[in-house]
Amino acid sequence: MLLKNLRPADEYDRFASQALEPWDVLFVTRIRQIARDMQPGVLVDIGTATVVVPVRLAADPVFKDWRFIGLDLDADMLEGGRPRIEALGLSDVIELKVGDALDLPFADNSLAMAVGRATLHHLPDKVKSLTEMYRVLQPGGIGLVHDMRRDVAPALLEKFTQMRAAVGYPPTHVEEKVTLEEARQLVRDAGLEHCTAVTSPGFGLGALGFEILIKKPLLA
């Protein structure tokens, strides 16, 4: 299952749109970079909460003719994002769906992209979440996970703590995150090392976390 956020949707939305802004930009920029070389298709944002990421993507000209699904276990979170979708006239291209990251409600080989930001650390079976992501990708599809490292540099962790405090959020629970090497082990345990890269920037705000990039083979 995907664990529900402990904060109400309106509080989380304020946190996501303010404190997480720099990481959202990094995440969306990375998705945009990847999508430039792809044919339009369906992209699901797993653990989307108040749908900040799909809205950013759907409003970008690069994603003309793409369709988006915001998936979350918490229906209240999804409803918290609906006014943003409607205000921007994106209801025809963004679908909201209640669903579980460990049992994705999509057919095998059906999605062009599956992405998740700051979702992996919430999941009780992280290996299953990766195999599920791989399952639903069409051949040639891309899975992208960004999450925070437990072994983050102390100075960056302090900066993140200050950003959370500025919008009334408590410090993050670093103990629930995974290290860079543990992320690589998750990929090995999922049997995806043949098509997956796990990386982390050496500097900048991106060094707060890591990236798991899955490229499903064309002949999968």
37 is a domain residue? yes
> Would residue 36 count as lying in a domain?
yes
Residue 138 located in a structural domain: yes
The dihedral region occupied by 97, where left means phi > 0, alpha psi between -120 and 50, and beta the remainder, is beta
Looking at the domain assignment, is residue 197 inside a domain? Answer: yes
Q: In tens digits, what is the pLDDT along the chain, a chain of 220 residues? A: 444 444 455 555 555 555 567 778 899 999 999 999 999 999 999 999 999 999 999 999 999 999 999 999 999 999 999 999 999 999 999 999 999 999 999 999 999 999 999 999 999 999 999 999 999 999 999 999 999 999 998 888 888 778 777 767 776 778 889 999 999 999 999 999 999 999 999 888 889 999 999 999 997 5
Q: Does residue 142 sit within a domain? A: yes
| Residue 158 lies inside a defined structural domain of this protein | yes
CA distances from 17 to 24, 53, 174, 179, 205 (A): 8, 10, 21, 26, 16
Cβ-based burial of 104 (10 A; exposed 0-12, middle 13-18, buried ≥19):
buried
Structural domain contains residue 1: no
CATH code of 206's domain? 3.40.50.150
Name the phi and psi angles at 6, rounded to 5: -80, -15
Query: Cβ contacts of residue 42 below 8 Å, gap of 6+?
Result: 66, 67, 68, 69, 110, 111, 112, 113
Pairing label, strands 137-148, 209-215: antiparallel
Q: Which domain holds residue 179?
A: 9-215
Domain count, the chain: 1
